[in-house]
Chains A and B, each alone.
Chain A
Amino acid sequence: MSQKKAEKLIDEKDVRIDGRKLEEMRPIKIEVGILGNADGSAYIEQGKNKILAAVYGPREIHPKHQALPDRAALRCRYHMAPFSVQERKSPAPSRREQELSKVIREALEPSIFTEYYPRTAIDLFIEVLQADGGTRCAGINVASLALADAGIPMRDLVSACAAGKVEGRIVLDLNDMEDKGGEADMPLAYMPNHDAITLLQMDGMLTGEEFEQVVNLALEGCRQINQVQKEALRSKYVAVKEQGEKEEEAEAKGEEEGEE
């Protein structure tokens, strides 16, 4: 990545620095269930973002005093790898990572039936392997799938997407350059089936009217991402089913051969 500042982030034809249209999302690739040890896991690539999420639990909680009498304690760690950004990031959790861990937890908690597992912990780990703007949203998208993969009962998938304002125009899914050089960035997380906004942050400057436009555009982005998430989950289970059927066939064959 070059350090030099781009002169313009959006050209006269409304084409963005990475070739996207104003309301176009970066390409997303998701894989579900890719880590052996975790109870649930998922991996996402959203543009240049590469993020892993893993879920352990519900499991016994340590330290014990963190146990909640009426529900599971959702614990979340959002962490960036030292090599995930241009300048090496110290592996110690920064204040930014502490805040993001909190808001991501609060974005996902409304989606989980935590009351089914009192006095336990559900531990969620999000590791950003490469960052290019919008990592909290991509992190929420992949974490929600990891929770589903862990078989934790959920009200809905949580889908997150940012929208904002860059060079006077309202755009969807800001990349790192647009985030740094733009006027406003608003990450938003949403449960489409409940019409519930579970994360909302903003920094920058927006008039009241622009604010509403940006919220509505981010919601539209979330709905698109929700489709991709559902497809990723479905394809994992199709794969599992096909794998199972193959194994059954092989077994049946093996038995037949044994009989002969």
Chain B
Amino acid sequence: MASVMASKVRQKRIAQLIARGKRLDGREPYDYREVQVESGLIERAEGSARVRLGKSEVLVGTKIEVGEPFPDTPNEGVLTVNAELVPLASPSFEPGPPDENSVELARVVDRGIRESKAIALEDLVVEPGKKVFVVFVDVYVLNHDGNLIDASALAAFGALMNTKMSNYEIKEGEVKIKPGYKPLPMRNYPVAVTFAKFNDKLVVDPGLEEEQVMDARLTMTIEKDGKVCAVQKGGDGYFTAQQIFEAGKIAREKAVELRKLVVKE
């Protein structure tokens, strides 16, 4: 871990700057780093997108397969989100089964998509109770420089918007692929906005070094009409109710900016 930790001197400097409303890289408290979204990089995937958030880089690919619905939702397709903190992305990532950080990342991304009902899952049923389409969203972190949640959520959203389903017909209960594609039915656009808290100050989009100094983290996922559809606090510190309400207001503004990078109006 030593190589990924900012030195004590640098940590102190970050904290001092933030206390004065400034940041190490010159950003304002509520500024994001430069964000780039590119779609359709992986031809084999049904959909894909890469997000660069400063130096953080996340690739998301989607795959669609035929599978069984969950017993309690026989008339809906299935959404599955998985996240891999690939060892090449950071000296702190190790090969092996997903640790709690990658499980949390996947579940926060999943919650935003699921709770905003972004995918019209009821349109993905082949045979109610028996056969439905399963949408796999695989988050692949390629470079870790902080705020993986926002980068991953945006890349997942971009990949879903880029996802094409093959045309199909049902012959004797089997799904037969026909030529041609149609887009995955999407009806909502969730965007995650993450805050870091330093004493009484909030900033958005913490970088890796800021994450090492922050007291706690708060992610708010905002859907297209500005409603909150998922929240997750992380880290060993705490927030006050006032800070949470303030974060809610800022998140709604920031979500509009980020959403434009994927959905051109």
Residues of A within 8 A of B (CB): 95-96, 98-99, 101-103, 106, 109-110, 186, 191, 194-208, 211-212, 215-216, 219
Contacts and interface: CB of A to CB of B under 8 A. Distances in A.
Contacts of A96: 107
Given A98-B100, A99-B107, A200-B231, A208 B226 contact: yes
Contacts of A206: 227-229
B233 to A, nearest CB: 4
24 contacts: A99-B103, A102-B100, A102-B103, A106-B216, A106-B234, A109-B236, A186-B231, A191-B238, A194-B238, A197-B238, A197-B239, A200-B244, A201-B233, A203-B229, A203-B231, A206-B228, A206-B229, A208-B226, A208-B249, A208-B252, A211-B228, A211-B245, A215-B241, A215-B245
Given A106-B233, A186-B231, A203-B229, 7 more contacts: A95-B98, A98-B100, A199-B233, A204-B229, A205-B229, A208-B252, A212-B245
A110 B195 CA distance: 18
A200 B245 contact: no
Given A98-B100, A99-B103, A201 B248 contact: no
B3 interface: no
Contacts of A211: 228, 245, 248
Contact of B239 (A196, A205, A212): A196
Q: Shortest 7 CB-CB distances between A and B: which pairs? A: A196-B238, A202-B231, A200-B233, A109-B236, A102-B100, A98-B103, A203-B115
A200 B235 CA distance: 11
Contacts of A197: 233, 238-241, 244
Contacts of A216: 241
B104 interface: yes
B111 interface: yes
Contacts of A200: 218, 231-233, 239, 244
A2 B211 CA distance: 46
A194 B230 CA distance: 25
Contacts of A199: 233
B238 A198 contact: yes
Interface in B96-116: 98, 100, 103-104, 106-107, 111, 114-116
Interface string B192-212: 000000000000000000000
Contacts of B228: 202, 205-208, 211
A212 B103 CA distance: 28
B245 to A, nearest CB: 6
Contacts of B145: none
A95 B107 contact: yes
Nearest to A214: B228
B91 interface: no
A96 B108 CA distance: 11
B223 interface: yes
B227 A215 contact: no
B237 interface: yes
A96 B234 CA distance: 15
A201 B107 CA distance: 12
A204 B115 CA distance: 5
Nearest to B105: A99
A110 B252 contact: no
Given A203-B111, A203-B230, A206-B228, A95 B106 contact: yes
B4 to A, nearest CB: 16
A63 B196 CA distance: 31
Contacts of B114: 203
A215 B244 contact: yes
B104 A202 contact: no
Contacts of B235: 106
Contact of A201 (B231, B245, B252): B231
Nearest to B245: A212
B236 A219 contact: no
A206 B244 CA distance: 14
A204 B114 CA distance: 9
A199 B231 CA distance: 10
Nearest to B116: A205
A186 B226 CA distance: 18
A101 B101 CA distance: 11
A106 B104 CA distance: 13
Contacts of B252: 208
A46 to B, nearest CB: 21
Contact of B103 (A95, A109, A198): A95
